[in-house]
Amino acid sequence: MHALLNGACNSLRYQKTRTQIDRSRKSGAGQLARWACIAMRVKIIGSAAGGGFPQWNCNYRLSRAARAGVPGLRSRTQSSVAVSADGTGWVLFNASPDIRQQIAQTPELQPAADAPLRSTPIRAVMLTNADVDHVAGLLSLRERQPFAIYATAQVLATLEANSIFNVLDPAIVPRRLLAPMEETAICGADGHPTGVVVGSFPVPGKVALYLEQGRDPGADFSSDTGDTIGVRISKADGRGAIFYVPGCARIDAALRARLADAACLLFDGTVYTDDEMITAGVGPKTGARMGHIAMSGEAGSIASLADVKIARRIFIHINNTNPVLDENSAEHAAIKAAGWEVAFDGMEMEF
């Protein structure tokens, strides 16, 4: 792991000079010693699926109740997680369209009082797929502010193909390949390590909605080759590993094995039942068609992971039709009885 930290930011993958690499190697031991004394902080800054909760145009009973202020229904912004290894610099996992609001609600992500006139503690943004609710927030992070973007080849190609993302000048905001099935030491735009290490792996999912060819709700746009990934997040010393999998269409043996002994799992909680959006009358697609496994049922995530040793289980990326959003519902009680929690904006953990 130490070699990973000291050697990861090479000139090809991380666009560093030879001098910067040597400096990182010399300072690596001291950085590890400092990081070892600090717990890794994880803040859930957005816990809803695309559209947030309540969604702007949704008049389903849950959204109506949330707008009316019914107890037990919290408003939620779109899915994003912030992680810090040193308590100062932060790595965002997905940049939701609500990013400005999320920063405003999270003092740790705001410029420090004694910082320069243009500054941010956000050192990098890592993308788990190219969905609108995960990449659109990048556009709000313009203004020629340096940070790094990490993503798979498929997601980087999507950004490259859409010229609007050029508002983030690659000379200022470098785009870096997140190699599949490898661990990567996340560095800021200047190549300085953040202390956060990410291991990425493909999970069953689908291509982003706007990349689908045609609008047939029954068509198959599934993918398990990197269009959607999960990540293992830890400190550079290897401690505090958590898994973040906000989108997943099914759970196979490989994923079960990977998640075994996890300290914490933040997992796709989009829908409670596969036909939820259909029965709610808000859309024609099943959860599986959208690339999301249901919580309940014999093939659902609760049952599929029931015998996997995971210290803490938390559903994230909750759709506005999911009854677990109502903390007084039978469904919410059922997932709690099964050992799961429901993420909410502002939830914080240390590892």
Checking if the pLDDT of 295 tops 90, the result is yes
The DSSP call for residue 40 is P
- What is the signed CA dihedral for 256, 257, 258, 260, rounded to 10 degrees? 90
The pLDDT, as a whole number, for residue 219 is 54
- Tell me what pLDDT residue 227 has: 72
pLDDT per residue as tens digits for the range 250-264: 999 999 999 999 999
How many Cβ atoms sit within 10 Å of the Cβ of residue 20?
A: 18
Map tokens 């909760």 to a residue. Answer: 53
Q: Where are the alpha helices (DSSP H) in the chain?
A: 2-7, 11-14, 18-36, 61-67, 99-104, 132-135, 153-161, 253-259, 276-280, 301-304, 330-337
pLDDT, mean over the chain: 88
Q: What is the pLDDT at residue 216? A: 56
Mean pLDDT (whole number) for 243-249: 96
Place 214 in a pLDDT band, splitting at 50, 70 and 90.
low
| Percentage of the chain modeled with pLDDT above 70 | 83
Phi, psi of 161 (to 5 degrees): -75, -15
DSSP state at residue 79 = -
Going by pLDDT thresholds of 50, 70 and 90, the confidence category of residue 211 is: low
Per-residue DSSP letter, 76: B
CATH architecture of 2-350: 4-Layer Sandwich (3.60)
Minimum mean pLDDT among 79-83, 182-186, 284-288: which range? Answer: 284-288
DSSP structure string for 108-161:
GGSPPTTS-SS--SEEEEE-S---HHHHGGGGGG-SS---EEEE-HHHHHHHHH
For residues 300-314, one letter each, b for 16 or more C-beta atoms within 10 angstroms of the residue's C-beta and e for the rest, the string is bbbebbeebebeebb
pLDDT, residue 33, reads 56
Summarize pLDDT for 309-342 with one digit per residue, the tens. Answer: 999 999 999 999 999 999 999 999 999 999 999 9
Q: What is the mean pLDDT of residues 27-42?
A: 68
